[in-house]
Amino acid sequence: MKASTRGSVDQVAGLRCLVMPLTKGFALLPNDVVQALIYNEQLDPPDFDAPGWLLGSVHREALGRVPLISLEALCGWTTPPAGGGHIALLRHLGHSDLPPYFAMRLAGAPWVVELNATSRLHAIQPDSKLFCVVSEISLDGQLGVIPDLDALGEVLSTVEQPHTR
């Protein structure tokens, strides 16, 4: 799979991924885009009138403040719970025009899965397409999504974030 998560679910065979639990299902991401996993990190609230899906930021020594999003809130599924919890620090690979890093709020601890010919990964045809999702999927009978990291980066770059970069 290319650094962009745009594309077919069929392209992920032979790829190590992280299953990122969400309140509703999970997000499936290639290991290459996950910079770090963080637990109970101190969050800095947004210092401007932010949309509900922008939860604030986390501070990383080498990166400064990194914006924290809720994929569930962006997709209109649910309002994220308050507090730190599990967070995935994600990076764009080779997309200099998008924010290089952002963080995503998780509902639990992620786990590794090796996608191969024996994986039961199937695309699901949804009633309507979500702009921040490449594909809705079923993995071993559990429903999830493959997020569109480019779309997430683009929506982040449209929000004025004076102190989060």
Residue 25 CA, distance from chain mean position: 13
Per-residue pLDDT, averaged over 111-135, amounts to 83
Q: Which domains, ranges and CATH numbers included, belong to the chain? A: 16-158 (2.40.50.180)
Cα distance between residue 24 and residue 126, in whole Å: 15
Per-residue pLDDT, averaged over 94-101, amounts to 76
pLDDT given at position 61 = 82
Going from the C-alpha of 85 to that of each of 24, 88, 104, 137, 153, the distances in angstroms are: 16, 10, 11, 25, 22
Among 18-22, 78-82, 123-127, 143-147, which stretch is predicted with the lowest mean pLDDT? 78-82
Q: Tens digits of per-residue pLDDT, 60-69?
A: 887 778 899 9
Q: How does the average pLDDT of the chain come out, rounded?
A: 81
Q: Nearest CA to 70 among 163, 134, 164, 147? A: 147
pLDDT given at position 162 = 52
